[in-house]
Amino acid sequence: MYFFFAPDNVLQLSGMTKLGQFMQYHICFIEESRKHHYDVAALDGTIITEAEAKSIPFVTVGWRGFVNVRQGSTLDQIGTTDIFSSLEPNDDSKVTYFLTDDDILNTASLMRKFMRKMLNETYDRRYKELDLETGRLEVATWDQQKAEAEAFVADNTADVPMLTALAAARGIAKLEMANKIIEKSNAYNTSVASLLASRQTIEAEVKTCDDIRKCNALMHRRFNIAAPNPQREQDDITAGATLDL
């Protein structure tokens, strides 16, 4: 089984074969016979294919369609330490490896999964912060609060025990309490809708990244992960890397 995750400590990597790393994410392999020892969901891991996992050496650096590798490297043995920077001079210790169409597709697929992971983590955190700001107890009872508030606004003889208790606790009339509940519920829903819309906008951009070059450009513009300098020069990317999620 191949997957990537961000370990909290080195002990979580015990018994796994690490294939590489991108940012905080470790790409790991677990033997089939040992799968039952690990809970990938509890590790907040993302399952990937073998081909995606083995494309890790080409992440970001394969944007030109080729990489310079050490003499004698084979495709199955290429690791991040076998690839030379595009800034290093050519010499007899390196040869050019041209990425296949599958290499490019698998690398772009892996990079999209990295971006979706970072995107989900960011928006999950923002949603939790929204809940904390509002109060989990209040959010948990909003369906009943809003139902009673709307029922009372429509018919002031409606049976509204929660609304009655809340109005009494605040020392205000039930109609005033009902209007406050509706207003606050609508404001919360608007905030959630805004988060969802922003996330979906970026998700749509991620989906369009079908090669390494496009992934690099989006990571540079949205995820604060700088594109390689030679690509920035070729593609006229003048702005620095930014976080815009």
The reply to whether 202 falls in a domain is: yes
Lowest mean pLDDT among 80-84, 103-107, 122-126, 196-200: 80-84
For tokens 């891991």, the residue is 45
Domain count, the chain: 2
Average pLDDT over residues 26-51: 91
The reply to whether 155 falls in a domain is: yes
Evaluate if residue 41 carries a pLDDT over 70. yes
Q: State residue 83's pLDDT score.
A: 58
Can you give the pTM of this predicted structure?
A: 0.84
The reply to whether 147 falls in a domain is: yes
The reply to whether 222 falls in a domain is: no
Evaluate if residue 77 carries a pLDDT over 60. no
Q: State residue 81's pLDDT score.
A: 47
- The 2-5 sheet, strands edge to edge: 17-22, 25-29, 2-5, 46-48
| Mean pLDDT score of the chain | 89
Average pLDDT over residues 104-118: 98
The reply to whether 191 falls in a domain is: yes
Domain range for 198 is 135-207
46 closest CA partner among 61, 26, 16, 60:
26
The reply to whether 139 falls in a domain is: yes
Average pLDDT over residues 49-56: 94
Evaluate if residue 71 carries a pLDDT over 90. no
The reply to whether 224 falls in a domain is: no
Confidence label for 141 from pLDDT (cuts 50, 70 and 90): confident
Q: State residue 185's pLDDT score.
A: 86
Over residues 23-36, the pLDDT tens digits come to 999 999 999 888 88
The reply to whether 4 falls in a domain is: yes
